Structure 1
């Protein structure tokens, strides 16, 4: 009897240890997050084992979550949903049925997933796009850009840009009865990165005559240089997006060579000769005081120049929009940036808001104190988070007032 009890006790401790995650007290729905994080870690462990045994890339296994969440393009009484292609890039198109004769707003959306996983057809993205289309009477174009590990930068950016340039043609806008003065791009996480990069590129593209009214960046990943920001330190082990997973996403965006990931983990992937770019991501200058508390700025360690030579995209603003100089920021459209307190990417978004304001760009920065990375995607069953519902409502309401 004692042996059985001891075995049960040990098993219970192991289960509790595995399920437990360091979730801050002000975050609601903690048990939901713990169980979901345990699921993610399980998939991650399987992915690691599969990769070490040579069965495939880590991201190939993680992509199974995307497959599990896939939902077909089904129209309903409010929105027509179809899968099609714009400029040979797959997109999921949402056209509202209400007010058929009126000019419509439009949004081009880029999903998150670290440029490696995710899809427009995932249930949370499909749900958000339907809701956006219905509430805003907007045509929504959700982009299925190609993913790593099969494709690396700049493929993801090029797919995103190709869709936007195609869509912004007058003939295309007329086809869908869209008001050319009310178009925006939006994206979350890696999708926020693409949205920011595309918006910068459009500003200086002489072939594009129609301008965006708004860009919306939801907890975006914006820089490759310093992966030891206060937000990375404080949230290294948060659920959904840990520092180690974000580093893996960043490195995989550029290459399958694991040596880049190892250098990024120690913040030693930048060469000495390009240290001038550090001013753009120096958090001691760009972060408000309350986000610096308890932290001392340490400039990234200088490493070998081999990584930048092999992967110049590391310092390309199309991959890291925060590295764009001020001249490339002036004239950007009204910008809405949402950041989450318990997120490794928090400081990327906050620094970008500071830099945009200094460049004269109108910025609305919504900071959510009780949210983790990806919260806005947790608005569908079975994992519905209070913070996610609140963020989604604020996002739609802001767009309704400003787009």
Structure 2
């Protein structure tokens, strides 16, 4: 073997080693998913490197994904798309062009990205909103809320809430021909967190007369107390969201102070005086046996009270909707929750389903055994996966049948 051939062989072996990721047997499109995972891992490594050099904050480097994936607001024969503002918050507005005798449905959608990255202009979110507007004959308001690390909680929530409240005004609904009885909030991941928090907050707002018909939560992040749930342990390094990255997202939502992230990583961040909140995230009571597997519930280890005083947001139901009292949950609308087996956030969604059902809320729980975090968005270009199309179609069918 010549020197060039040997070098090529070694380079190919190293690339294959870097790309190869052990995946569960029930995953489809395995090599394509490995390539996608390698791309995300590479961006993460680069973000960590530039942060280490002091050139850029980690999350600002991750935003390069958002920049690369950006598409301008472009109308087509089915949907009119414009960038505008609702209540001084940027939104991307999707108006269906179908001629119909009745009023349209309405949706306020919150994108994912750990409250730190992402945007309405990303190709995946543009496609999803465009599809929703066209197939459901719905006016879709996709919200470009402000992001960490520049902005911390409760700014993201306040942006999400102010847009929703603005849209629910009778004059605005009338302007866009939206049926006030057929409106929902929806979101994925961190966006699912915002959708759940907004739906809860609306129940206590006397100024809002229009009620949501449904809420749709796609693999939502819902609690900050226990970051060592069975799903966090089982899926610590699964695509696309690792345990360490999710903890980084959670901590950055509240502060750039690394002490909170370090405490969250060791699951020692909740002060003893907040111990009563653990009843709302006690997975030994809220998870079915098949998800508990061989895990044994242990009592929480409490952290310094100073973190709770400095950053009370992580104990706030507006940031962690699973911490809401039972009485708050009872008034919530029909709910759709998508969870994925191989996702660190799986148990957040499953526990919320359990608590909502105990509170008498009608819930449809769609659990994908062969899916990972973010799977529903992988429906185009190099990220075109069969599981993405299946989950997207199921979600659209449910909305069509229930909204």
Give the TM-score normalised by the residue count of structure 1: 0.98
- Match of residue 221 from structure 1: 221
Q: In structure 2, how many angstroms separate the alpha carbons of the residues matched to 1:155 and 1:394?
A: 32
- Match of residue 94 from structure 2: 94
1:44-83 aligned at under 5 Å gives the runs 44-83=44-83
Q: Does 1:251 align with 2:251?
A: yes
Q: In structure 1, how many angstroms separate the alpha carbons of the residues matched to 2:17 and 2:229?
A: 28
Checking the alignment, whether the CA contact within 8 Å between 1:91 and 1:143 is kept in structure 2 is yes
Query: 1:203-243: CA deviations, max 9, x gaps?
Result: 11111111000000000000000000010001000111000
Give how far 1:307 is off: 1.2
| Segment drifting more, 189-198 vs 51-60 | 51-60
Q: In structure 2, how many angstroms separate the alpha carbons of the residues matched to 1:34 and 1:229?
A: 25
Gaps of 5+ in 1: none
- Match of residue 176 from structure 2: 176
Counterparts in 2 of 1:303 and 1:3: CA distance versus 1, 3 Å:
farther
Query: 1:282-335: CA deviations, max 9, x gaps?
Result: 101000111011111123321111111110001000000001110111110000
- Match of residue 203 from structure 2: 203
Q: In structure 2, how many angstroms separate the alpha carbons of the residues matched to 1:204 and 1:99?
A: 36
- Match of residue 365 from structure 2: 365
- Match of residue 34 from structure 1: 34
Counterparts in 2 of 1:306 and 1:101: CA distance versus 1, 3 Å:
same
Gaps of 5+ in 2: none
Q: In structure 2, how many angstroms separate the alpha carbons of the residues matched to 1:101 and 1:156?
A: 37
- Match of residue 159 from structure 2: 159
1:84-123 aligned at under 5 Å gives the runs 84-123=84-123
Give how far 1:43 is off: 1.0
Counterparts in 2 of 1:306 and 1:93: CA distance versus 1, 3 Å:
same
Q: Does 1:329 align with 2:329?
A: yes
Q: In structure 1, how many angstroms separate the alpha carbons of the residues matched to 2:365 and 2:22?
A: 26
- Secondary structure class of the residue paired with 1:164: helix
Checking the alignment, whether the CA contact within 8 Å between 1:22 and 1:237 is kept in structure 2 is no
Give how far 1:22 is off: 2.5
Query: 1:114-157: CA deviations, max 9, x gaps?
Result: 00000111111100111100111100000000000100000000
- Secondary structure class of the residue paired with 1:248: helix
- Match of residue 348 from structure 2: 348
Q: In structure 1, how many angstroms separate the alpha carbons of the residues matched to 2:6 and 2:384?
A: 37
- Match of residue 382 from structure 1: 382
- Secondary structure class of the residue paired with 1:233: helix
Checking the alignment, whether the CA contact within 8 Å between 1:247 and 1:264 is kept in structure 2 is yes
- Match of residue 273 from structure 2: 273
- Match of residue 402 from structure 1: 402
- Secondary structure class of the residue paired with 1:317: coil
Q: In structure 1, how many angstroms separate the alpha carbons of the residues matched to 2:347 and 2:99?
A: 41
Root-mean-square deviation over aligned CA pairs? 1.2
Give how far 1:21 is off: 1.6
Checking the alignment, whether the CA contact within 8 Å between 1:225 and 1:300 is kept in structure 2 is no
Give how far 1:56 is off: 1.2
Q: In structure 2, how many angstroms separate the alpha carbons of the residues matched to 1:72 and 1:8?
A: 40
Q: In structure 1, how many angstroms separate the alpha carbons of the residues matched to 2:3 and 2:131?
A: 55
Q: In structure 2, how many angstroms separate the alpha carbons of the residues matched to 1:163 and 1:92?
A: 11
Give how far 1:14 is off: 2.8
- Secondary structure class of the residue paired with 1:382: helix
Checking the alignment, whether the CA contact within 8 Å between 1:149 and 1:253 is kept in structure 2 is yes
Q: In structure 2, how many angstroms separate the alpha carbons of the residues matched to 1:291 and 1:34?
A: 25
Q: In structure 2, how many angstroms separate the alpha carbons of the residues matched to 1:294 and 1:20?
A: 28
Q: Does 1:232 align with 2:232?
A: yes
- Secondary structure class of the residue paired with 1:62: helix
- Match of residue 138 from structure 1: 138
| Segment drifting more, 215-224 vs 25-34 | 25-34
- Match of residue 289 from structure 1: 289
Checking the alignment, whether the CA contact within 8 Å between 1:21 and 1:239 is kept in structure 2 is no
- Runs of 4+ aligned structure 1 residues displaced above 3 Å come to 1-13
